[in-house]
């Protein structure tokens, strides 16, 4: 078992990236290294590289997130990339979506401890909140699933002309090529690979950006969303 004492000192890049909320970023790193490991949310071997591989790698995603939009972090887990994104972008309204109770408990504790008033924690799977969660401008994800499956969960949560930003690895281009048919059925208009974090992380963080048209999720999901919305209104009237 590891603890927060094994967490390396924050690199100078972290001070520049997190700015005024750098102390909160340090506190989050300490929570991940201690409670995060003890609760099985992050592996002990990840602690020495928490800053470069996790916090900074996620924070630089902010470079491609538009200003003042709503964001849903699907399969948020220990809060990556949602929490680092929230720390560098107070202009965003972020929902951390996670199905497992022990993880949502941790996320809620982190949000309260760090005073992240613009962040909401929701327990559930993407397919379960469809029609009840307000559609968002941007969906984020990291290490959740292959692109075709991830898009099936994340794209239907988007507003028309919204985008999904998924942190991926070296196989990002291959994933896009392999998921073209699935993406087309989901109403995706464009998919590309972006590299972010120049001067902050090495190697650069790889992001798959998926842009949807006027029907996120396609025809099938439009019907599901409409049905879920009707069910929700009926329950509220009772």
User: Residues comprising the binding site for S-adenosyl-L-methionine?
Assistant: 75, 80, 126-127, 142
* C-alpha torsion sign, points 81, 197, 92, 134: negative
**203 preceded by cis ω (within 30°)?**
yes
**E strands, 99-157, in order:** 119-123, 136-142
Residue set of the binding site = 75, 80, 126-127, 142
Q: Dihedrals φ, ψ of 31, to 5°?
A: -65, -40
Q: Which residues contact 97 (CB under 8 A, 6 or more apart)?
A: 72, 73, 74, 75, 76, 122, 124, 125, 126, 129, 133
User: How far apart (Å, rounded) are the C-alpha atoms in residues 122 and 105?
Assistant: 10
**E strands, the chain, in order:** 70-74, 93-98, 119-123, 136-142, 158-168, 188-196, 205-212
């Amino acid at each position: 078992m590891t603890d927060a004492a094994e967490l390396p000192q924050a690199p100078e890049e972290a001070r520049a990236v997190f700015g005024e909320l750098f102390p909160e970023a340090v506190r989050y790193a300490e929570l991940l290294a201690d409670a995060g490991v003890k609760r099985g949310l992050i592996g002990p071997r990840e602690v020495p590289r928490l800053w470069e591989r996790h916090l900074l790698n996620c924070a630089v995603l902010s470079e491609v997130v538009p200003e003042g939009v709503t964001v849903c972090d699907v399969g948020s887990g220990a809060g990556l990339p949602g929490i680092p994104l929230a720390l560098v972008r107070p202009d965003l309204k972020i929902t951390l979506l996670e199905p497992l109770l022990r993880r949502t408990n941790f996320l809620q504790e982190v949000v309260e401890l760090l005073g992240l008033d613009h962040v909401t924690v929701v327990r559930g799977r993407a397919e379960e909140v469809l029609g009840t969660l307000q559609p968002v401008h941007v969906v984020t994800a990291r290490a959740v699933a292959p692109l075709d499956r991830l898009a099936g969960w994340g794209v239907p949560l988007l507003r028309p002309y919204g985008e999904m930003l998924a942190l991926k690895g070296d196989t990002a281009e291959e994933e896009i090529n392999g998921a073209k048919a699935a993406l087309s059925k989901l109403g995706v208009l464009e998919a590309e690979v972006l590299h972010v974090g120049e001067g902050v992380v090495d190697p650069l963080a790889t992001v798959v950006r998926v842009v949807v048209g006027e029907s996120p999720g396609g025809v099938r999901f439009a019907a599901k969303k409409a049905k879920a919305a009707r069910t929700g209104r009926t329950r509220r009237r009772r």
